A and B are shown apart, each in its own frame.
Chain A
Amino acid sequence: MSEITPDLVRHLAGLARILVTDEEVEKMTSQLSLIVDSVATVNKAVAGDIPATSHPIPMANVFREDVIEPSLSQAEALSGAPDSADGRFRVHAILDEE
């Protein structure tokens, strides 16, 4: 049985920086429980010493020469931002004042 509870869904949503309503929590708890029960079957498949695969066609140490190449200008990099000032991204307070 899965251990997905409403509190766990709220906690995970908080970690993922997604505000969730009570209604969403309720729906997601039941849906995620079913999904987690289903995907947990992977445990049955991997008895014994099996290496993990992270990439299907592994390529190690893909480097390039450390030379400067054309890139976005500051104005271009900022052009899609919801807010900017003085050539920087502008955001709300990082620390909570409460």
Chain B
Amino acid sequence: MSDLIRKNASELVELLNSKQVSSVEVTQAHIDRTNAVDADVHSYLHVSPESALATAAEIDRKRAAGEPLHPLAGLPIAVKDNLTTTDAPTTSGSKILEGWVPQYDATVVAKLRAAGMPILGKTNLDEFAMGSSTEFSAFGPSHNPWDLDRIPGGSGGGSSSAVASFQAPLAIGSDTGGSIRFPAAVTGTVGTKPTYGAVSRYGLIALASSLDQIGPVSRNVLDAALLQDVIAGYDKHDSTSLPESLGSMVEAAKKMDVKGLRIGVIKELTGAGFQPGVQARFNESLTLLQNAGAEIVEVSCPSFEYAIAAYYLILPAEASSNLAKFDSVRFGLRVTPEGNPTIERVMAATREAGFGPEVKRRIILGTYALSSGYYDAYYGSAQKVRTLIQRDFDAAFAKADVLVSPTAPTTAFKLGEKLEDPLAMYLNDIATIPANLAGIPGMSIPNGLAEEDGLPVGIQLLAPAREDARLYQVGAALEKMHEDVWGKRMIDFAPELEVK
């Protein structure tokens, strides 16, 4: 196996730009890796080796001819299968879209193409990104490269496992309640949910439009910064797109300095409910930050107690509306029942056959939360909780520049363990959901291994809206402190996968 696959994206960028390796070599190395391990990991729903190699060859030709190229040109990437691509099927993990090839590229996909980044394939996810484990994918779950019997997190477990198993140096994810950050935490990788509106959602198959945000998945903070700088920016096709630039994340990631920064520990997201190894690694990171000159302060966010409840009203309500478009008319599956098939009966039969159990559960819950007589008590109250959570963050950020918490209460659980218990599954997102409700940016970085099970633990960093750069500054600095302690990257502790 080529050692190119283990390199950080930033190292590959240097090798490519200095013509020490070609894009075809780098791309082929990752395709070979997928052929060798993805039967076990199942990161991809669809692979595009021919088009990826064609893009790579084109970049190599341009580089040889001395044409100006984007710094990331030739660096391959994986894309979550809820972003539209005109040259590959887009299923969002659902039978209702099986085989559908979209008529337009998502803005993020168009930006990757414009930068000359070969797209290796489309990664697995829980159906329509509803889940924390990929077990709700209609096409079977992905597996955690650290232990194939465990979940790689969700919904973006395809992207996290692809990056963690060296099948891609970078990947795109989407985060509605933690779908980038939770998978990053349990696979020992990095994942960022940028500020709401920082990255265009045009062409992202919407789950909950007031919460969804696209972001980078990587093995390293600088790599995530490189990718966020490619995909961020105003897009007239997305009416929630922020008009202003948030600056260079790469510059922030290179500062490597936390002196004088105030780091706020969220009281409500520590202690009871968090696995001992998760809490222990978190406390050690606080010590590292303090030793490097940061000031550790405690902040309180009392309304977080209601965050999951509010989220599981707002998300189903918006999802039930967004998923109404899957009506058997314009795209996707059509199932025609016997007897007297009116359009309504065709729709109902199609949606019965095309949607899986979690999607049905959430659509029906959302229909309930929005129905007259219940609207004020459920959806209305949830939106008020959202205001309270924003106020908690405002107060916390008055005392701290960056907030920290464990990313998830536990390490990766076993496949099947929580499948029949929706409420237990929902609790995984307790630390990640508040950022989506408030629209602020969040990042999960590797934070060591829990001694009780030897599995990866993540630490979450949160910053005020539009201050994504602070995440990259603190994240890269903390990552460096960790690697100095460990003597290597955390991903280098992962067991070798069996190569076929």
Contacts and interface: CB of A to CB of B under 8 A. Distances in A.
A80 B195 CA distance: 33
A72 B203 CA distance: 14
A70 to B, nearest CB: 11
A64 B235 CA distance: 12
Contact of A9 (B211, B364, B384): B364
A95 B343 CA distance: 8
Interface in A25-40: 28, 31-32, 34-36, 38-40
A1 interface: no
A34 B348 contact: no
Q: Chain B CB within 10 Å — which of A19, A44, A64, A72 has the most?
A: A19
A96 B340 contact: yes
A36 B440 CA distance: 27
8 contacts: A19-B352, A42-B378, A45-B388, A51-B384, A56-B211, A82-B334, A92-B343, A96-B344
A54 B210 contact: yes
B385 interface: yes
Interface in B171-220: 195-197, 210-211
Given A36-B368, A39-B309, A42-B381, 16 more contacts: A12-B368, A15-B367, A16-B363, A17-B327, A35-B361, A35-B423, A45-B303, A55-B196, A55-B240, A56-B439, A56-B440, A72-B103, A80-B331, A91-B343, A93-B343, A96-B340
A57 B303 CA distance: 19
| Chain A interface, DSSP helix/strand/loop, else mixed | loop
Contacts of B309: 38-42
A45 B331 contact: no
Contacts of B100: 80
B348 A17 contact: yes
B210 A42 contact: no
A79 B328 CA distance: 13
Contacts of A34: 422-423
B306 A41 contact: yes
A98 interface: yes
Nearest to A76: B103
A55 B351 contact: no
A85 interface: no
Contacts of A68: none
Contact of A52 (B365, B371, B387): B387
B465 A18 contact: no
B83 to A, nearest CB: 16
B240 A57 contact: yes
Interface residues of A, number: 56
B348 A52 contact: no
Interface in A69-95: 72, 76-77, 79-83, 89, 91-95
Contact of A43 (B239, B355, B381): B381
Interface residues of B, number: 73
Contacts of B82: none
Interface string B324-353: 100111111110100011111111110110
A81 B325 CA distance: 13
Contacts of B364: 9, 12-13, 16, 18, 28, 32
B343 A55 contact: no
A16 B367 contact: yes
B382 interface: yes
Contacts of A97: 340, 342
Given A16-B364, A17-B348, A94 B342 contact: yes
A59 to B, nearest CB: 6
A43 B320 CA distance: 22
A15 B365 CA distance: 12
A16 to B, nearest CB: 5
Nearest to B359: A18
B104 A91 contact: no
A67 B303 CA distance: 46
B236 interface: yes
B137 interface: no
Contacts of B340: 96-98
Contacts of A92: 336, 341-343, 345-346
A17 B361 contact: no
Contact of B332 (A41, A64, A77, A82): A82
Contacts of A76: 103
